[in-house]
Amino acid sequence: MRKSLLAMLIAIVMVLSACAEQPAKKEENPAASPETSEATAAVSDGVDDARVQEILAQFPESISERVATTSVPVAEMLHLLGITPVGVPTSTNPIPAAFDQVERIGSPMQPDLEVVTALKSDLLIGAESLRSTLEKTLEGIELQTSYLPTDSFADLKLSFKVLGTYFNKQEEMNTKLQSITDKEVELQKLTEGKELPSVMLVIGTAESFMVMSEKSYLGSLVGKLGADNIATSALKVTDTYSPINMENIVAADPDIILVLASGDHGATADKFNKEIEKNEVWTKLSAYQNKKIHMLDYSTFGVTSIINVEKALTDISQFFIDK
């Protein structure tokens, strides 16, 4: 009888011990899982890896050895990755000096087909926003093409990761993406807990001035820092660029107005000042009365640039921190 009781006691102890060990085993699995570690690393730069794979699907299976591009932002990315293309666009926007001797293939929208053909490129990379125009221009030419989004801050990081992954340049890619991410975190900490101002973004052409939404490059920088762009919150515009409606702007009364000034695009600072003189309604705005209308350099804030993006973020943040 005693032996039976002893055997039952031992069996119960063994069962309880097995149950106690089971939860501890489960807790170790997530931390030890290689898949979990990879997933954490993949999202640390804020880039959607599903989108990366989606865009990569349009690239050739083998790595291109003679790549050309019709996009200035893409030319910058290739430069940072240590890749020299056989052709770059002809543009008033600066191309990396390292590519001074690289063949110019014409405008981003209408490249010179004779030059493109002569280069014997095995891949032409263009801007997604110009895809339809480029495809019409290249109709009839047997050439592998891929397109990358380049309009916003998020687009820059996404497309850079696509190129870095495709060309197997992970070290260069990760170094730059980490630098950008570090800058984001640094600036977001500076504005953390602060009441950020409302902002209106203005760009001018030879004909008129327009309001910019968060879809614009400058708008995406402002949005990344957490400031309120009245184009979206108050004016409810849906297009990247919309006509100015002074009645609605007065009602929204932005704290700060940022104006992209560019002589090349017919919108100098002097022209904007004349616009204010013509319409005294501008003088009713808090931004005007508090001297919070700032002119921005188009080359830094009007053109998406992986090289200048950290400077652009830093410069924009100063308007919010020092408000």
- Give which of 135, 145, 174 is closest to 69, Cα–Cα: 145
Q: What is the pLDDT of residue 3?
A: 42
Q: What is the pLDDT of residues 42-64, one digit of tens each?
A: 448 999 999 999 999 999 999 99
pTM exceeds 0.85, yes or no: no
Q: What is the pLDDT of residues 78-96, one digit of tens each?
A: 999 999 999 999 998 899 9
Set out the domains of the chain in order of their start, with CATH numbers: 49-183 (3.40.50.1980), 194-321 (3.40.50.1980)
The residues near 242 (Cβ < 8 Å, ≥ 6 apart) are 210, 211, 213, 231, 235
The residues near 135 (Cβ < 8 Å, ≥ 6 apart) are 145
* Alpha helices (H) in the chain, listed in sequence order: 2-32, 34-42, 49-56, 72-80, 113-118, 131-137, 153-166, 170-191, 217-224, 230-233, 246-252, 269-278, 286-289, 298-301, 309-321
Torsion of CA 283, 285, 291, 293, to 10 degrees: -100
Which residues of the chain are under the pLDDT cut of 50?
1-43
Residues 177, 144: Cα–Cα separation, whole Å: 27
